[in-house]
Amino acid sequence: MTIALTRLLIATVATMSLAGCTVFPDQPAHQIFQLPAPKAPVTTAETIDRTLRISTPLAVAPIDSPRILVKPTPHEIRAYQGSRWSNRAPVLVGAYLLEAFRRDGRVATVVTDTSAVPSDLTLTGDLTRFQAEYQDGKPVIHLELNLQLIDERSRKPVASKQFETSHAAGGESIESVVEAFGQASSELARQVINWTVAKI
C-alpha cells in the first residue's frame, strides 16, 4: 500500500467519525428543532409589582443563525448536518427566558422587546456561546450569556453579570443533543431569574 493511499484511508476514517456534522451546510434541513419548553419551578415567593422587558440578546455569526453548532475540537466549529433550530439561537434564548420568567411568576409582568407596554426594567445582553463541544469523546452543551439589567427611567444599569452553564448529552444523536440544550437552557434561566429577582 502506497503512502498516498494510506493517508487517503486515514482521512476517510476521520471524516466518517464526524459524518453527522459538517461545516455550515447549505442543504435544506430535514429536521427542525425547538428548545424543550421551560418547566415552572415551585415558588411561594410574593409577586413583585414591576414590569420587566426581555430583549433578544445580541450575537455574532455563527451563533446568530439557526444552525445547531458543534465543536469537535477546541479550534473547529461545525454544524449538525440536516438539522436546524426553528429560529436563530438568540431569538430562541430570548423567547425561552421570557417564557421561563412568566412561568416562574415572581415578576408581575414580563413583556417582549417589541411590546408597546411601558416597562420599569429591561434585561438585555449578548449570547456568546450556544453550542455542543466534545469532551472526552462526548458532546457537552455550553451556554454563555452576558446580561445587563437596565432601569428604564434613568437608563442606567442596575447590575450586570455573566452566566455560564453546561450539560452533558446522553448520547451523540441529534435528539440527545437537543434534549441537553434544553437542560442547559433550563439551568441558565433559573440562574438569570434568581439573579434578576434579587436585583429588582
Q: How far apart are CA 2 and CA 134, in angstroms?
A: 33
Provide the pLDDT confidence category of residue 30 given band limits of 50, 70 and 90: confident
Q: What is the CA radius of gyration of the chain?
A: 20
Q: How far apart are CA 51 and CA 70, in angstroms?
A: 36
pLDDT tens-digit map of 157-191: 999 999 999 999 999 999 999 999 999 999 999 99
| pLDDT for position 39 | 79
| pLDDT for position 88 | 98
Percent of the chain with pLDDT over 90: 79
Each residue of 2-13: b (16+ CB within 10 Å) or e? eeeeeeeeeeee
- All three cell numbers of 129: 456561546
Q: What is the dihedral angle through the alpha carbons of 85, 88, 93, 94, rounded to the nearest 10 degrees?
A: -140
Q: How far apart are CA 118 and CA 188, in angstroms?
A: 26
Evaluate if residue 86 carries a pLDDT over 90: yes
Q: How far apart are CA 81 and CA 166, in angstroms?
A: 22
Evaluate if residue 17 carries a pLDDT over 70: no
Structural domains in the chain, sorted by start: 21-199 (3.40.50.10610)
Strands 31-33 and 76-85 come out as parallel
Contact 25, 79 (CB under 8 A): yes
Evaluate if residue 6 carries a pLDDT over 60: no
Rounded mean pLDDT of 13-25?
48
Provide the pLDDT confidence category of residue 20 given band limits of 50, 70 and 90: low
Phi and psi angles of residue 32, each rounded to the nearest 5 degrees, phi first: -115, 125
Percent of the chain with pLDDT over 70: 83
